[in-house]
Amino acid sequence: MRTPIALAIACIATVLTVDAAPSTCTKSYKVISGDNCYTIGEKFNSSAPKLISLNPSINSKCTNLKVGQVICLSKSATSTKKTTIKSKTTKKTTKKTTKKTTTKKTTTKKTTTKKATTTKKTITKPSTTTSTKATSTKTTSTKTAGATPTLNYTKGLVAAVNSKSDFCMFLPSSPGGKDLNNGKVDDEAISKSEKSANAFCLKANKNAPGARLFPKNFIESAHFYRNSTAGYVQVTGKFNPATYSLSIKDGGGQYDNHGKGSPPLSMCFGYKYFVNLVEPDKPDYCMRCCDSYEDCHAGRSTYGCGRVVSNGNYN
């Protein structure tokens, strides 16, 4: 036969186990056409990573949203309050049985409550990790690894690649790099703007807030490719340097988000890495966004688009 102490502890464990269930959703939203995690987060003063953490059904890139899908915007910790109330009731019942077990019961209650709190924090902690190891932003042929960036997006520094008619990449902040060359066209505008470039898109893109539009007739050809197995997308082709006052003597340069980024804080929406080369002297461009560093290797900039994105179409 169980002693009064054993019965009391069993009751407490039962109540706390029941109330440690996940918090319920207190605010939800039905997905409409054109929505994505970034725009939904912006609309409700939240963020894409938070929405993904609150909704296990959404994948890490937020590419599987469906029109009519109901997603959770916030959850409450009501289960913790319930635990406190029920624990107090059990404590009172046990006191009637014996006074000598008061200290043990109080200790058991506090220990269980702390464990429940720790579990809750683990569930809501963002899954994105950040490497604190600093890496050089200079791209050379000897570079073998890159820091893992977080999926944080800064206005004007977010590119995106969705199709051949809907993509973004980086360019100098002014035509011909004049703002960094005393108002004159710079024959090295691309390489000299690697720390100050801005995102440019073919058309307004919700995933690239603050991006500017390419000059009219800047893009002459675009070839889109997606590798679902490796987890990368790319767009390659020809452009017209004259529409943005870029010199045909300019051998080009590379933008990427390895290390501190070129430009710093730059990202490609939905992907951990990107590499983007612009070469006015050819004139070729290539933009690839990847899940893996090896598919967006930053240590080959001196070889140009033909080596960095070797399967690209540059006609």
| pLDDT tens, residue by residue, 42-79 | 788 888 888 888 888 888 778 888 888 888 988 876 54
Question: In the prediction, which pLDDT does 301 show?
Answer: 60
Q: How far apart are CA 237 and CA 247, in angstroms?
A: 18
Query: Which pLDDT score, from 0 to 100, does residue 26 have?
Result: 86
Q: What is the pLDDT of residue 176?
A: 97
Q: What is the pLDDT of residue 35?
A: 82
pLDDT score recorded for residue 54: 86
Give the chain's radius of gyration (CA, Å): 27
The order of strands in the sheet holding 284-290 is 223-227, 232-238, 284-290, 273-279, 253-256
CB atoms within 10 A of CB 187: 19
**pTM more than 0.85:** no
d(CA 24, CA 34): 27
Number of H helices, E strands in the chain: 7, 13
pLDDT given for residue 138 in this prediction: 36
Q: What's the confidence (pLDDT) of residue 50?
A: 85
CA proximity to 103, closest of 9, 230, 228:
9
Walk me through the domains of the chain, giving residue ranges and CATH numbers: 4-124 (3.10.350.10), 158-308 (no CATH)
Beta bridge partner(s), residue 95:
none
Q: Are strands 161-163 and 166-171 parallel, antiparallel or unpaired?
A: antiparallel
Residue 106 confidence (pLDDT): 40
Tens place of pLDDT for every residue, the chain, 315 residues?
Answer: 555 554 444 444 433 333 333 457 888 889 888 788 878 887 888 888 888 888 888 887 788 888 888 889 888 765 434 433 344 444 444 444 334 444 444 444 444 434 434 434 433 333 333 333 333 333 333 333 445 556 789 999 999 999 999 999 999 999 999 999 999 999 999 999 999 999 999 999 999 999 999 999 999 999 999 999 999 999 999 999 999 999 999 999 999 998 889 999 999 999 999 999 999 999 999 999 999 999 998 776 667 999 999 999 999
Report which residue type is found at 66.
Answer: K
